[in-house]
Structure 1
């Protein structure tokens, strides 16, 4: 994305209402707050949600950051609620940047800002439209991904694109690792997009019709690891589902989370799911060669080294995962 800054003179800051909820949205909010070219007049986020052992209601990371900065926080149960829409019209934002807000915006809300709602999405659109683009990019073995800013329309992530950035997928990346990098790089992209929209030098370009793929939310059932799959696919599944929802298998009838595995091409002697526990390592067979279990999390316990887990459960000959 390239644009030239236009003359500002005494032009007032562009008034923004930022919409976002999780931690991954905070870097973008910080970048916009720090900018002298824009005024974050309010923040829209999801309502407080139960968290922790006590299940007490906790404000979203975006809400907490906005409150620290003294910014008004709006928490509609549904973005179509008339009270929320009325307040949004009163604020009269010029533009509404969005990062992982977590709710669909109705037409009545989309029509409020003169320059629309602009979403920072963590993929190279039109690839991986949907809720979990980073997880699907890793699970599918993409070597390159990125982020894009686009004008929100009523379709799913189908609006015209303002700008993109690229980011390589590293061989050991989890979705958490990759999303953290994209969150910080994407913050700069979103700020540059707001600058370009404000000074009139940036215009959205329709997405190509080819190359569309979809990235629905990854559920706990989706994260069930199939050890009859090749080792490379098992590794991608574990990395793509880490930290959430967490890849898992079964051992002795209980769920066992797989926090980290590493392909072990030298081991081709194990059947799919078959375990072999040595003094310092644990291997499991797959549909190709084995994988080494590095970190696991037994049900109701904290993550631990797989070798420590194996010593505790005393794996017997021929025992398997996934039964």
Structure 2
């Protein structure tokens, strides 16, 4: 089956590679335009564009998915189906109508839970025990199309948003190929999403990542892991911002919320319940370092409190 794949970040690469290795023919990829990054702020193609170029696959990178030249080229390629993973832009009706068998989106939650931009981060922060990935038919409403296939995945106690997303991206790639196989065979049916369990996963802001030490230790742990690696959980000490890596909860309740206790071996912080131990700290503009090393250099006062 001739397909056009849409995706942009590294998260989409497992699906692209799985589709290239499948029986389907990836005629082109659609991705976001080159973006500026790095110290020099030079333009770089997206990870999907780079990987497609390595395989000799045509790259379409329109400024807008409504660009007439892009739509004309998509119609000329005439894909039967268009799988999409983390493309990063909305597709309107004129694009959705091009492939005869529609667009199949791989989303990293068990829909209808956590529709939106940050499903993995929000599921960790909410304390969910299980998440997954869903392949569904794309419609103009946000992540609302009928479901074609689902997998589930337990959220591990040490999962960060980064590690969980990597795992879901790999397992979801297998799901996506399987769904396309059945679409080609014509033996798959779509199931409308239920209204029960509907929730939305808004993109994380910097404010979302500020640690609230007045919450219980398990909630602090979940917040930090959900914000790792991006946007990065943070707090302030004496007006200076510090990025905090995943913490280690303890069973001791010895410190007031936000209060620091520094020893040679560790740095503890109080929460609304039990203390947590910091693993690493990254001062603004510097590299991350072991929490004990940071404390030796920063020498926080005996009454120091994170804000």
CA distance in 2, matches of 1:164, 1:234: 30
Residue correspondence of structure 1 range 178-197 to structure 2 within 5 A = 178-197=164-183
CA distance in 2, matches of 1:60, 1:307: 38
Q: How far is the alpha carbon of 1:317 from its aligned partner?
A: 1.0
2:290 aligned residue:
305
User: Is residue 237 from structure 1 mapped to residue 223 from structure 2 by the alignment?
Assistant: yes
CA distance in 1, matches of 2:293, 2:11: 33
Alignment counterpart, residue 160 of structure 2, candidates 170, 174, 178 = 174
TM-score, normalising length from structure 2?
0.99
Q: How far is the alpha carbon of 1:295 from its aligned partner?
A: 1.1
- Give the conservation status (yes or no) of the 8 Å contact 1:260–1:296: no
Residue correspondence of structure 1 range 1-323 to structure 2 within 5 A = 14-36=1-23, 38-266=24-252, 268-322=253-307
CA distance in 2, matches of 1:63, 1:296: 34
TM-score, normalising length from structure 1?
0.94
Dislocated runs of 4+, deviation >4 Å: none
Alignment RMSD, CA only? 0.7
CA distance in 2, matches of 1:145, 1:260: 20
CA distance in 2, matches of 1:259, 1:59: 29
For each residue in 1:149-185, what CA deviation from the matched residue of structure 2 results, as whole angstroms up to 9, or x when unmatched?
A: 0000111101000000111000010000000000100
Q: Structure 2 regions of 5+ residues with no counterpart?
A: none
For each residue in 1:20-60, what CA deviation from the matched residue of structure 2 results, as whole angstroms up to 9, or x when unmatched?
A: 00001000000100112x11000000010111111111111
Q: Structure 1 regions of 5+ residues with no counterpart?
A: 1-13
Q: How far is the alpha carbon of 1:118 from its aligned partner?
A: 0.4
CA distance in 2, matches of 1:110, 1:296: 46
Larger mean CA deviation between 239-248 and 47-56 belongs to 47-56
CA distance in 1, matches of 2:63, 2:118: 22
Q: How many residues align?
A: 307
